[in-house]
Amino acid sequence: MRSLRGTAVRAAVVGCALALADCAGVGPERGSAPVAFAAARPAFELAGRLSLKRGGEALTANFRWQHTPGQDEIDLASPTGQTLARLYGAPGIASLQTADGRVETAVDWNALTARALEWSLPVEGLGFWIQGIPRPGAAFTVEPGAGTEPGVLRQDGWTIVYLAFGQDENGVSRPARMVLSYPDVELRLAVDAWR
C-alpha cells in the first residue's frame, strides 16, 4: 500500500496534468445556454494554488504551469515552498519526477495518470476548462454565470464550477477560482496570475 503522502502528491501532480493537451479555438455548442466562451490560448503560463481531495486523501500545493503548443511543464511545491514534483509532457512522452528524484514515464498523460493513480483522469479537459471553455469534440452542457461567463460546465463526467473570473494580461476574462468534481474527487484551483 502506498503512503498517504506519496499517493496524495501523485494525485495532485496528475491533477495538474489534467491540463496538458493542445489547445485550439472553440466556440459555444449550438443550443447551449447564452454563454460567450473566450478564445483558447495556444500558450500560457499560470501560477496558483490547488487543493485535491480523493476519498480520505488530501493535499494542498502551489503550482506553476507553462503551456506551449505541444509541450507542458508543471512544478508543484508545498505551501512552504518545498518542491513536491515536476511534470513534463510532449508528444510521445509524459513524465513525473518527485522530490526524492524518482521518475515515472509513459507514452502519454492518460497512461501516466492511470498507472500513477490507478484511476484515469480527463487529461484532455483541464487545459481547456482552466481557460473557461469546453474541450472541443466532446459533448458538454453549460449554465451561465455572472454576465456571459460560464458558471457551471459539465463534460466528460466532470462538473466544473467557476467561482470567480479575472483578466489575463490582454484583458480577456479567465477563471481565477474553480472547483472540479468527479465521484470521489474534488480539485480546487485558484489562479493567481495569467501570463
The per-residue pLDDT for 144 is 94
Regions of the chain short of the pLDDT cut 50: 1-4, 8, 11-12, 14, 16-33
Task: Give the integer Cα–Cα distance in Å for 6 and 22.
Answer: 28
pLDDT at site 122: 67
Q: List Cβ neighbours of 150 (8 Å cut-off, separation of 6 or more).
A: 35, 37, 132, 133, 142, 143, 144, 162
Q: Would you say 125 and 113 are in contact if contact means Cβ atoms under 8 Å apart?
A: no
Q: For 117-146, b where at least 16 C-beta lie within 10 A, e where not — what string?
A: beeebbbbbbbbbbbbbbbbeeebebeebe
Domain ranges of the chain: 4-194
* Of the options 1.10.390.10, 2.50.20.10, 3.20.20.70, 2.40.50.1070, the CATH number for the domain spanning 4-194: 2.50.20.10
Strand intervals (E) in 32-148? 44-54, 57-68, 71-77, 83-90, 93-98, 103-106, 140-144
Q: What is the pLDDT of residue 163?
A: 97
Distances (CA, A) of 69 to 42, 44, 83: 6, 10, 25
Please count the other Cβ atoms lying within 10 Å of the Cβ belonging to residue 25: 12
Q: What is the pLDDT of residues 33-64, one digit of tens each?
A: 489 899 999 999 999 999 989 888 888 999 99
